[in-house]
Amino acid sequence: MKRRQFLNAATAMAAGGSLMAVPAQAQDPQGDPEQGSQAFGPAKPEAFGFETVAKLAEDRATRVYEQPISQLVGSFADLNYDKYRGIRFRRDRDPWAGSDRFGIDLLSPGMIFYEPVNISLVRAGMPQAIPFDPSMLEFDPAQFPDGPDLETVGDMGWSGFRVRTFLNRPGVMDEFLVFQGASYFRAVARNTLYGLSARGLAIKTGSPDGEEFPLFTDFWIHEPEEHSDTVRIHALLDSKSATAAFQFDVTPGAVTMVRTRMALFPRVDLRETGIAPLTSMFWFSPASRRSVDDYRPACHDSDGLQMQTGADQSLWRGLMSPRTLQISGFVDKDPKGFGLVQRARDFESYQDAEAMYHLRPSAWIQPEGDWGEGEVRLVEIPVENEFNDNIVSFWAPKEPLARGQRHEYRYRLSFAALPPSDLPLAKVRQVRSGRSINVETTRSFVIDFDLGLFRETLPQFQVQASAGRIVHAYLKPLPDQNALRLAFEFEPGREQVAELQAQLTNEEGVALSEKWLTRWTA
């Protein structure tokens, strides 16, 4: 009953300072007339933009971080899952009512969403705050039989917002984007359902000191021009260690594209920072199913981490649900792309008619400009059910991000069934693993690649292990399944952990498939 969209932020709510919407800054009255300034008379206001938010973030970074105190009262206090779902935004109060393309829902505080978020609309370059107003909400009589208690509510602030458009059916405004909880946000593309989340920033993820969760404290949502297919959102992020300004240009469709710009201002030297973080859930699959008693073949929002390195090497790292926290780093320079992907797109892979995991989107990060040296980091956390996210991936810069400086990153974040096509290499379709039928301590692996490139001639293959031994490796075409199966057994001996990898090549050793990677643990 409690779907993870309401649980993703349960342990991720961090306090952040709040800042009311500010007026646009004025231009210099002595500026160049050709640049739009006035030599005499009152200054002409500048349009609200990214640099306005960046200046706010830079100023805030010079001050000590203050944790705001908020209290949920009246009908917004002590809400369970069902009661919270019973509070809905009134569609007739949509600030963009009458738009030919987009709509907005403002989201109620309550349950785990207890931090106030300031939301402003920007029209013609000028921001205007939307104060919290319970009259913009409707309360389900089944959950509030005596009606809502709104007398003591006061101004608690909104908890976030969602954006709607005509995504799947004419005349129906489906939600496609939601910002709610810490710095989390999610999006869907046409014919997909909400699954994994993106975040503004990750700090100390997987650290023994505990993770720090920055919070989006302020949003400025720009009213799109008539017939525009893109929504622009500015956001201010705050945390104990850093502040940041964001610009999101979001275009929904068969691929929902989020062009992102971030200016980061550390309060301290950031040594454990995650840029462009993604968060997902992986419980089990045919390749990783330890002591799971469940009728479904698999249960996950993402089944692998896909990467395209700066040297144009294509990697696929299957996800797992480990017994202990696992952190993997894939060293790179100026990566071309990375993301958490849901490759199994058929109902039979999951047999779940409620969660519909085969419709969960993949998310793909394409850096813009040079990101320098660092690593794509993967954090896998033990989990016992499907209700909590346990997978995090992000770019970790090699050098610390220095305090008192501005650090800027730009990237494209696409939500779609699968990432855009990249290199013409055979991809891993599925992986299965289990105890060998011959030796109890040996593991059997079968990796199915796309058969398309190899119908005439079988390729060569390479299988390696960082510890232990690979035995009985062979290739076998499965034409009815349109797959080429690479099978082998892994003998760990006394080893407790080993990195395994496999790839199809030609006779000269040139890659014909992406490289499959996994970590085996005893």
Decide if pLDDT at 64 tops 70: yes
The confidence score (pLDDT) of residue 44 equals 57
Least Cα distance to 371 among 345, 348, 401 occurs for 401
The whole-chain average pLDDT of the chain stands at 89
The confidence score (pLDDT) of residue 71 equals 81
CA distance 254 to 250: 13
Q: Which residues pair with 218 in a beta bridge?
A: 118, 236
- Please state whether 372 falls in left (phi above 0), alpha (psi between -120 and 50) or beta: left
Please, which residues have CB within 8 angstroms of residue 43's CB and are 6 or more apart in sequence?
26, 27, 28, 29, 37
Least Cα distance to 182 among 108, 132, 110, 113 occurs for 113
pLDDT digits (tens, 9 = 90+) for 456-503: 889 999 999 999 999 999 999 999 999 999 999 999 999 999 999 999
Q: Which residues pair with 107 in a beta bridge?
A: 160
CA distance 169 to 393: 33
Torsion on CA atoms 257, 377, 264, 203, rounded to nearest 10: 120
CB atoms within 10 A of CB 504: 25
Pairing of strands 231-238, 304-308: unpaired
Angle at Cα 97 formed by Cα 94 and Cα 102, nearest 5°?
A: 90
Range 131-147 average pLDDT: 93
Please, which residues have CB within 8 angstroms of residue 490's CB and are 6 or more apart in sequence?
442, 443, 444, 445, 465, 468, 469, 470, 471, 498, 500, 520
Decide if pLDDT at 20 tops 90: no
Contact between residue 233 and residue 220 where contact means Cβ atoms under 8 Å apart: yes
Query: What is the residue whose two structure tokens read 């940041």?
Result: 244
Angle at Cα 51 formed by Cα 50 and Cα 55, nearest 5°?
A: 125
Q: Which two tokens stand for residue 411?
A: 């990237």
CA distance 19 to 263: 18
Angle at Cα 37 formed by Cα 36 and Cα 39, nearest 5°?
A: 135
pLDDT digits (tens, 9 = 90+) for 65-122: 987 667 888 889 889 999 999 999 999 999 998 888 999 999 999 999 988 999 999 9
Tally helices (H) and strands (E) across the chain: 2, 32
Contact between residue 410 and residue 260 where contact means Cβ atoms under 8 Å apart: yes
Mapped onto helix, strand or coil, the DSSP state of residue 417 is coil
Decide if pLDDT at 194 tops 80: yes
CB atoms within 10 A of CB 522: 10
Least Cα distance to 201 among 407, 59, 4 occurs for 407
pLDDT digits (tens, 9 = 90+) for 147-181: 988 877 767 889 999 999 999 999 899 999 999 99
Of 67-71, 214-218, 225-229, least confident by mean pLDDT is 67-71
Within 398-439, strands assigned E span: 407-416, 428-435
Range 263-272 average pLDDT: 96
In order of their start, the domains of the chain are 4-16+51-416 (2.70.98.10), 428-521 (2.60.40.10)
437 confidence band (pLDDT: 50, 70, 90) = confident
The confidence score (pLDDT) of residue 382 equals 93
53 confidence band (pLDDT: 50, 70, 90) = very high
